[in-house]
Amino acid sequence: MFMTSKIARTSMLAAPLAIVAGMATAGGLSEPVAAPAPAPVAVAPAPVMMGNDWTGFYVGGQLGYGQLDPNAATTPSEPDGVIYGVHAGYNYDFGSIVLGGEVDYDLTDISFDTPNSDLDGVARAKAKLGYDAGAFMPYITAGYAQAQTSDDLDGDTDGTFAGLGLSYMMSDSIVLGGEVLQHQFEDVADNDGLDVDATTLTLRASFKF
């Protein structure tokens, strides 16, 4: 009887100690909670540079300066003056390369003193090769030119030209630019040995369709 009572008392003391020990163990051995992975951050794609579309017909006008360089002893001066005119053409944009053709005509107020003559106008037929740099298009050009003179040098003279230009697409329909051309004319107005080089520099404005 005495042993039974002692065992009962021991069990009653052991039970609370076991509960307390279990709680302490549970608190000390709790499994770590994994932190949530950070949400992925969307990266914006790099901007893609797009060129303008230069394809289309255009018409416009030009205003500038011209200087003649005769190589004959009878015309020692280098006459110069204002030039102004109109142009029309077509470009086709292949992506980075632009091919085009153009015709233009300039009137001038340039005159020779000796012989007494006027350069009335210059007509041109152009081939153009450009680079699509977005709103800008640098280009090279070359082709056929005809000089029209009057008074002592009365007649039309065939020649050639080559040059550089730069166009800027201000809007879908307005194009501004500049051009410098070097011309060569031989035997002006059928005068043997009278060869003339001519340099022109113009500012241009065009309407693109």
Three-state SS at 75: coil
Q: Count other Cβ atoms within 10 Å, centred on residue 91.
A: 23
- Report in angstroms the alpha-carbon separations of 76 from 21, 67, 73, 80: 120, 13, 6, 13
Contact partners, residue 146, CB within 8 Å, separation at least 6:
122, 123, 124, 156, 157, 158, 159
Residue 2: pLDDT band (50, 70, 90) is very low
Instruction: State what percent of residues in the chain have pLDDT above 90.
Output: 63
pLDDT, tens digit (0-9, with 9 covering 90-100), for 124-164: 999 999 999 999 999 999 999 999 999 998 999 999 999 99
Does 53 have pLDDT greater than 60?
yes
Q: Count other Cβ atoms within 10 Å, centred on residue 95.
A: 8
Nearest to 99 by CA among 110, 90, 109, 108: 90
Instruction: State what percent of residues in the chain have pLDDT above 70.
Output: 73
Bigger pLDDT: 22 vs 70: 70
The four Cα atoms 141, 144, 149, 153 give a dihedral, to 10 degrees, of: 120
Give residue 48's pLDDT: 47
pTM, entire model: 0.74
Residue 198: pLDDT band (50, 70, 90) is very high
Bigger pLDDT: 116 vs 57: 57
Does 37 have pLDDT greater than 80?
no
